[in-house]
Each structure stands twice: as structure tokens, then as C-alpha cells.
Structure 1
Amino acid sequence: MATVRNLKIKTSTCRRIVKELHSYEKEVERETAKTADMKEKGPDLLGQENVLAESRMMIPDCHKRLEASLADLKATLAELEEANEKEGLEFDEARSTITELEKLFETTEA
């Protein structure tokens, strides 16, 4: 059974994963620039290329976890709304998070 506390936890989980995703995206940008710089200076890049590859692998993983968390949040919100619990700060935050994530997925797919 869904509770308001569960809703709050699931909302926070989605927001944490979004922050993690953005962090990995920034890391990929930094590491790409660093790898390009190292290519200009010398041929020994194996370690740096491994770091870059690992960072790139984390982005699809974050997307999958975010999709799962978003689905879980939507289900919890729907269950609480069916039980006639619709008002409160937690509900507003959950709806806002859902809207933000749906926009994020739209821009990612485009």
C-alpha cells in the first residue's frame, strides 16, 4: 500500500538519479576534452580512454534506473490519488518531478 512517505521517498529518488545523470554527462564532457588534449601530447592514452568509456557506460544505466523510478513514482501517485489523497506538498512535488522528467525524456529522445 502506498503512503505519502513512500511518495516522498520515490520523488527524492528520481531527483537524486537526475543529479547523478547530469554529473555523469558533465564528467563525459570533461574526460572527452582531457582525452583530446592527451592525444595531442602523446600516444599513451589507454588509462584515460578507459575512464572515458566507463563514464559513457553509466549514462544509459542512469537512464534505465530513472525510467524505472519514474514509473514507480507514477504508480505510487496514482494509487494515492485513487485512495482520495491528492493534496499536499508531497503531491505537488511528485507531480512537478514527473513533469520535469517527462520533458527530460522528450529532449533526450529528440
Structure 2
Amino acid sequence: MATLRDLKIKSSTCKRILKEFHYYEKEVEGEAAKTASMKEKGADPYDLKQQENVLGESRMMIPDCRKRLEASLGDLKGILAEVKDSDLQGPEIVYAETMVAEVESFFQNTEA
């Protein structure tokens, strides 16, 4: 049986992964700018290759983060449904509903 504590944990997990996703997006932007700058300046090919590897690793984290966020959202929705069925009440339910709406909105905006 799901509890309010479980609901709060799953909500916080969604929030953390969403924050992590935004962090990786910013990191990719920064690393891409750094790579472009190195190319313009004619950096050493070895250093440029290493920077491209860093950029590639950062880019790989975005789909991974998205998959974890989708899984976390599914878990949160499941626990939220259980909690609503058991007629528990508390601020955790509002927080969970807010997180579900926020993550779903994020997915709609990224797909558009």
C-alpha cells in the first residue's frame, strides 16, 4: 500500500531528475561553445578530440535522463492513483499533482 511518504519520495525524485535534465542541457550548450571556440582558434587536434569526447558524453546523458524521468513519472502516477484510492489526504498529494503537471508540460514542450 502506498503512503504519503512514498508519494513525497517519488515527487522529489521527479523534481531532481528534471533539474538534472536541465543541468545537462546547459552543460551541452557550454561544451558545444567551448568546442567551437577551440576549432576557431586552431587548437591542438588531441585537445580538440578530447573536448569532442566530453561533448559527446554530455549529449549521451540527455536521453538517459529523459528515460529515467519518464520511468519516474510513471511511478509517481501509479503511487498517486493508489493514494487517491485509499482516501489519504495531505499536502504531499498537491505536491505530487503539481510535479506530474510540471513534468508532463516539460515533455509536451520538448516534443513540440
Structure 2 length-normalised TM: 0.95
Comparing 43-52 and 10-19, the one that deviates more: 43-52
Structure 2 gaps of 5+ residues are: none
Matches within 5 A, 1:20-39: 20-39=20-39
> Are the equivalent residues in 1 in contact too, given 2:31–2:54 (CA < 8 A)?
yes
Which residue is equivalent to 1:100? 102
**Aligned pairs, number:** 109
> Are the equivalent residues in 1 in contact too, given 2:13–2:72 (CA < 8 A)?
yes
Match of 1:68 among 53, 63, 71: 71
Matches within 5 A, 1:1-110: 1-43=1-43, 44=45, 45-85=48-88, 87-110=89-112
- Root mean square deviation, CA, Å: 0.7
Structure 1 gaps of 5+ residues are: none
Letter in 1 for 2:17: I
Comparing 56-65 and 36-45, the one that deviates more: 36-45
Comparing 37-46 and 15-24, the one that deviates more: 37-46
Q: Which runs of 4+ in 1 moved over 3 A?
A: none
Calculate percent identity across the aligned residue pairs: 63
**Greater RCO between the two (CA within 8 Å, min separation 6)?**
2
> Are the equivalent residues in 1 in contact too, given 2:17–2:65 (CA < 8 A)?
yes
Distance 1:107 1:19 in 2: 15
